[in-house]
Amino acid sequence: MARDPDIALPASNEAAASDATADFQFRVFRRGEERKAFRLERVFWDLLEQAAESKGQKLRDFVFSVIDREPDAKNLASSLRTAVATWASERNTALSEGGGTQSALVLFHACPSPGIIIGEDRGIVAFNSAMQNFIAGRRPHALRNNIVDARFAFELPVAQIIKFLVEAPGKFMECGFRIVLGEEALTGRCRVCLYRDGTPGTRQLGAFIMT
């Protein structure tokens, strides 16, 4: 299947200097005799707390609600990432439709989940600080003053993703991605939504990393 060419994704010195935010945190949750432990990146814990607060839940209750929906999941940590990426994607879509592009952009940059906006021409429109930290955190041996030379690509052509989302208003899709860091490659899954609709050539995709 065709893959879009890699897209350059720079990272600022500020992102490298704040790579501590990309550290993992280990947390334990208990419900009666049940005990679950997870090790996730700090940005995902931040997003989980926001998702729980938006639903009027404690973090523990939100975590167990995800577990209850997927009792047979083999990787519950991935289920948590997927749940908050979905929540962030839906929130972004809702605000974009109801509050305008500028409000959606503010939300995008405020979101603690690593995110990127890609234009229909496959060019990078924006990426948030969480994405910068995500990249910097995976180059622990890089000097703080170095600019991380990273390249980003979806596993599907951007045009194909946009076509699907335009034909399914209000929906999002899961898609693989690849980030190339020098000679290293990081792959995973992301949730993709139509960040900006409009005439052909002006549409944009918003993607939030899940795993």
Over the stretch 80-100, which tens digit does the pLDDT of each residue have? 988 888 888 777 666 555 444
Of these ranges, 18-22, 152-156, 193-197, the one predicted with the greatest mean pLDDT is 152-156
Euclidean distance between CA atoms 171 and 173, whole angstroms? 7
Report if residue 67 sits inside a domain: yes
CA dihedral 159, 165, 108, 87 (to 10 degrees): -140
Range of the domain at 123: 7-209
Q: Which amino acid is at 200?
A: P
For the beta carbon of residue 77, count every other beta carbon within 10 angstroms.
Answer: 15
Whether 207 has a pLDDT exceeding 70, the answer reads: yes
Report if residue 94 sits inside a domain: yes
Mean of the per-residue pLDDT values for the chain?
77
Q: 37 pLDDT band (50/70/90 cuts)?
A: very high
Report if residue 2 sits inside a domain: no
Q: Which amino acid is at 180?
A: V
H and E: helices and strands count for the chain: 7, 9
Q: 10 pLDDT band (50/70/90 cuts)?
A: very low
Report if residue 58 sits inside a domain: yes
Report if residue 85 sits inside a domain: yes
Report if residue 43 sits inside a domain: yes
Q: What percent of the chain has pLDDT over 90?
A: 13
| pTM recorded for the entire structure | 0.53
Report if residue 1 sits inside a domain: no
- Can you list the alpha helix ranges (DSSP code H) found in the chain? 13-17, 42-54, 59-69, 76-99, 101-110, 129-137, 158-166
How many structural domains does the chain have? 1
